[in-house]
Structure 1
């Protein structure tokens, strides 16, 4: 790997992300859209770089006019019946994800987890599992691994998948790109 140039690394990384996205089922995308559209309010959560991808998704949901917020923001409303807690647990579990899922379920909200390890504790406790078949830190060693380090393949695939979901939602909601753009902040 020491002699691989930037463009060759880029090609390898893009190929890895493309392979992951090509293995996400259309039914998974439709399920995710249906859960989001059925929710009164959506609370998103993730840790680390996965949390950044969840923030990117939350922003797109807001651009679509949906009532979406990030857990941890002081303006996030409580969840309850009719709401959706959507979390990311690429390696299958994080203690905070499990705790938040418990709170949400007790309050009557549905839970949806995006993960690369569907047999993990968080996916087994979720109402809905969104499976992204990508390398995370749970399986980034040994044989067939991505050129991208640790969980970066999962996180990059999340970003692309989430933006594709936002396009699907836009079509289902019969919105235009301009309508989404009008909801973009002007406070930058």
Structure 2
């Protein structure tokens, strides 16, 4: 019989697991990521599924800091050029649609930064810099690595009874969200950006 957990217990489990992932993040990788953000002309973000939502949230925060950021696939996103940075969020590092975007970014002379849970993935092999959020100790076994295939075949399962640490795959996104918020806080510090300056860029027509 599956163990029943309270919402509070599950929240603590996920928070503890995310904390353990933070302990594995390479300081060198983090600093290289920060340097790429600070020195790039424009920053593009990409991701599929929930990782795509994290990517969009990150682009929004960059805009709030006054940095030029775009979401790949949006109608107002301009052509990428040499000197621009593509930040890709992909737990598996194998999602076909995002792999193609990475190849295109590299072909036009862009820099590719990957945030992933798999440092040996296809995307990691082509990325200029990679930040590994190692959530694999909590991942399900035997599931297809490609996001689209998992969705189509119904392998994208969730539920506390199946995995008490977090719904399938979502621990990477949780860690990625925390990581991206930490990056924003450090960017605020390095760029000497005050809270009121950030708030001035909040949307006022929604």
1:48 alignment counterpart: 49
Q: Are 2:187 and 1:186 equivalent residues in the alignment?
A: no
* Alpha-carbon separation, structure 2, partners of 1:91 and 1:146: 20
1:159 alignment counterpart: 177
Which structure 1 segments of 5+ residues have no match? none
* Alpha-carbon separation, structure 2, partners of 1:152 and 1:98: 20
Contact 1:146/1:153 (CA < 8 Å) preserved in 2? no
Task: Report deviation, 1:162.
Answer: 0.3
* Alpha-carbon separation, structure 1, partners of 2:205 and 2:20: 37
Task: Report deviation, 1:136.
Answer: 8.9
Which of 182, 185, 190 is 1:172 aligned to?
190
**Residues 167-176 or 23-32, more deviating:** 23-32
Q: 1:41 to 1:149 in 2, by over 3 A?
A: same
RMSD: 1.7
Q: 1:87 to 1:146 in 2, by over 3 A?
A: farther
Figure out how many residues of one structure are paired with residues of the other and give that number: 185
Task: Report deviation, 1:42.
Answer: 0.8
Q: Are 2:151 and 1:150 equivalent residues in the alignment?
A: no
Alignment of 1:134-145 (within 5 A): 134-135=135-136, 139-141=139-141
Task: Report deviation, 1:106.
Answer: 1.3
Contact 2:29/2:129 (CA < 8 Å) preserved in 1? no
* Alpha-carbon separation, structure 2, partners of 1:146 and 1:167: 30
Normalized against structure 2, the TM-score is what?
Answer: 0.85
SS in 1 for 2:185: helix
Q: 1:136 to 1:122 in 2, by over 3 A?
A: farther
Task: Report deviation, 1:135.
Answer: 3.4
1:39 alignment counterpart: 40
* Alpha-carbon separation, structure 1, partners of 2:42 and 2:62: 10
Which structure 2 segments of 5+ residues have no match? 143-162
Contact 2:118/2:132 (CA < 8 Å) preserved in 1? yes
* Alpha-carbon separation, structure 2, partners of 1:39 and 1:155: 24
Contact 1:92/1:123 (CA < 8 Å) preserved in 2? yes
